[in-house]
Amino acid sequence: MSHAALLDARAWRLLLMADLELAAEARAGGCPCGGRLYSARYRRKPRSGLPVELRSEFGRRESLCCEKEGCRKRVTPPSLRFLGRRVYLAPLVVLVSAMTGGVTERRAADMRALIGVSKRTLQRWRAWWLRSFPRTVFWKIARGLLALPVDEARLPKSLLGRFPNDTPADAVIACLRFLAPLTTRGGYAMAV
């Protein structure tokens, strides 16, 4: 799997469009109090190798706010661009973690040159995939939805393998759709 696939402007646009669709679905569902939801996007400062023309759009996270005074509840729809509060974009966290298979000096240097991620950050991502992610409520539920079991010692690469597509970018996007519940506050991200 090549990291070049995610640096393609088409793949980044697909992620943006998917997030806009998820926000539209959340807006259509309305607030639990019955009020309408309005856009209340908030700033993000993602680190990555985004195409210049997309940087402003990726600097905002889709979010909604109830119109009713007294409620004003915020609804943050799932995202394919952002994986929780991480400063690197979700596709990079997934794809780079899948490629590393262990953080060596050479791989760390390559990733630093490509997207500016440090060896320490790569090690944190690796630890999250191998120790924290398998203990999340999300994973305990979601792994049962996969036709074939995933080798947890090889996450996220083994998870990506469950989403065969025409291109590596399409496989990553399908995997991000699967992981999208993790990107919201109520998305079962906590470990049990």
pLDDT tens for 120-162 read 999 999 999 999 999 999 999 999 999 889 999 999 999 999 9
Over range 94-110, report the average pLDDT: 81
**H or E stretch including 39?**
strand 37-39
Is the confidence at residue 7, as pLDDT, over 50? yes
Q: Report pTM.
A: 0.85
Cis-peptide into 91, omega within 30 deg: no
Over range 105-118, report the average pLDDT: 84
Residues whose CB falls within 8 Å of the CB of residue 182, separated by 6 or more in sequence, listed in order: 83, 84, 136, 138, 188, 189
What share of the chain has pLDDT > 90, as a percent? 44
Residue 93 · residue 115 · CB < 8 Å: no
pLDDT tens for 30-87 read 999 999 999 989 888 887 767 777 778 888 999 999 999 999 899 999 999 998 888 8
Structure-token pair, residue 54: 């997309």
Angle at CA of residue 76, ends 9 and 27, nearest 5°: 90
Residue 155 · residue 130 · CB < 8 Å: yes
pLDDT of residue 1: 40
**H or E stretch including 175?**
helix 168-179
pLDDT of residue 4: 45
